[in-house]
Amino acid sequence: MEHLPAILHAKELLFLLGVVLATGVLTGFIARLIKIPDVVLFLLAGIALGGAGFGIIDVKVDSTLNQLLLIFGSCYILFDGGASIRLSVLKNVWPTILIISTIGVLISTFVTAYAAQYFLGLSFNFALLLGAVIASTDPATLVPVFRQVKIRAKVAQTVMSESAFNDAMGAILTFTILGIATSNSGFSFGESLISLLQQSILGLIGGVLLGYLVALFIAHEKYSFLADYTPVVTIVSVAAAYLSVDNLHASGFMAVFVFGLMLGNKDIFGFKMSKVDESKLEDFIFTTSLIMRIFIFVLLGSQVNFALLQQYFWPALGVVLVFMLIGRPLVVFICALPDKRAKWTLQELLFMCWTRETGVIPGALAGMLVGLKVPHSDVIASVTFLAILITIIVQATTTHWLASKLNLLEN
C-alpha cells in the first residue's frame, strides 16, 4: 500500500509544496529585514533549489502542475491588483493611467521588439511577442515597495494603478500577438487593434457582471447569503471569471482584473461589509496572493536555463537596457507629459521613468509560452528572467535613494 505509485507521487508533491512554502516564508522574512522586494529572494532561492543548484525542486515547465500554478497564480495576482485600486484616487490622474497602461504598453512593446530584432535576430512577430511579454510592470513588486518607501501619494498611486492596469493589457497583447506569430500570417496593425479591442471589451463586460453579482451576494444588505463563504467565493469567482471569458476567446486576464476592481470598490455601488468581515477578506486575499507569488517566482527561478542564458546573455542584456533606458522614458514622457490636468513635474516624471519593475505577470507569461512550446520561447524566457532580475534588483532597491534625490518623499 505504502509503495503504490499514486501514494509515492502524492508524497513527492506534498514534499514539494512544503519546500516551496517554507522557502517562501524564510526568504520573505529575510527580505523584510533587509528591506528589498521579496520576489528577488524568491527567485534566487528557486535558482539555488532548482536544477542549477541543489536539485531539490524539479517541476517541468510543461507539466500540468506548473501550468496550473502559472495560470491561476497570474489570475489571482491580477485580481488582487484590481482589488487594491481605489477609484477615488484616480480622479485627477486617470488620463495618465489610461494612456500609459494602454498606448504606453504598445510603445514599450514596439521599442523592445526593434531591440530584439537587432540584438537577437528574431523575426518581427516573435520580437513583438517578446516585447509584449515584458511590457507590463508589476504590482506584486511595486505595492510592497511603496509600503516601505513613503512617496508622494499622487506619484505612488499612479505607479501602482498603472502596474495593475497594464498587467491585464500586457497579457491581452501577448496572446493577441501569439495568435498572429503562430499563424504564419504577416503583422496587421488594424487586425491586431480590432482583436485587442474585442478581447478587452468582452473581458471588461465579463469582469463587471461577475464583480457586481459577487458583491451583491456577499455584501448586499438583503441578498448577502454567501457572506459567510466570502473567501471561497473569491477563489471560485477568479477561476470562473478567467475560464468563462477565455472560453469566449476573449481576455480572461482582463476579466479577473476588472472583477477585482469591482469587488475592491463595491462601496461605490452601495454594497458594504462590516469592518471585521472586510478585514478578514483583505487578509485572506493578501495571504493567497503571497502564496501564489511564492510559487510562481520560486518555480520560475528553479527552471532557469543557465546554459541558454549564458548563450544569449549579452544580446539579452542589450534588449533589457534599451527596454529600461529608452523604452520606459519614451512611454512616460509621451503618455504623461500631455496630461495638463495632472500637472506632472519633471522630478515626478523622472521617478516614473525609473520605477517600472518587471515581475509576476511577465514571468508567468514567459512560463506559459515555454509550456506551450512556442517557437523561440526559450529565448523569450531568458530575456524575461534577465529583465525581472535586473529591474527588481537595480530599480526596486534604489527607489528610496532616487525619491530622496528628487525630493518626492512624504514628510
Q: List pLDDT tens digits, range 114-142.
A: 999 999 999 998 999 999 999 988 776 77
Give the domain CATH number at 192: 1.20.1530.20
- 217 lies in some domain: yes
On average, the pLDDT of the chain sits at 86
> What range does the domain containing 199 cover?
63-405
- 27 lies in some domain: no
Which three three-digit cell numbers place residue 340?
495638463
User: Quick one: average pLDDT of 233-261?
Assistant: 89
- 319 lies in some domain: yes
How far is C-alpha 52 from the chain's CA centre?
25
- C-beta separation of 299 from 65 below 8 A: no
What letter would DSSP give residue 227?
Answer: G
Residue 409, beta-bridge partner list:
151
Give ∠ CA 322-102-291 in degrees, rounded to 5. 80
Q: What is the pLDDT of residues 20-76, one digit of tens each?
A: 999 999 999 998 888 777 877 888 899 899 887 888 988 887 788 888 888 888 888
Give the closest residue to 199 by CA, choosing from 181, 180, 175, 183. Answer: 175
- 8 lies in some domain: no
Sequence-distant (6+) residues with CB within 8 A of 64 are: none
Give the closest residue to 20 by CA, choosing from 317, 373, 294. Answer: 294
What pLDDT shows up at residue 238? 94
Q: Return the number of other C-beta atoms located less than 10 Å from residue 79's C-beta.
A: 32
- 26 lies in some domain: no
- 365 lies in some domain: yes
User: Quick one: average pLDDT of 247-261?
Assistant: 86
Q: How many helices (H) and strands (E) does the chain have?
A: 19, 0
- 160 lies in some domain: yes
Q: How many domains does the chain have?
A: 1
- 14 lies in some domain: no
Q: What is the pLDDT of residues 85-103, one digit of tens each?
A: 777 777 778 889 889 988 9
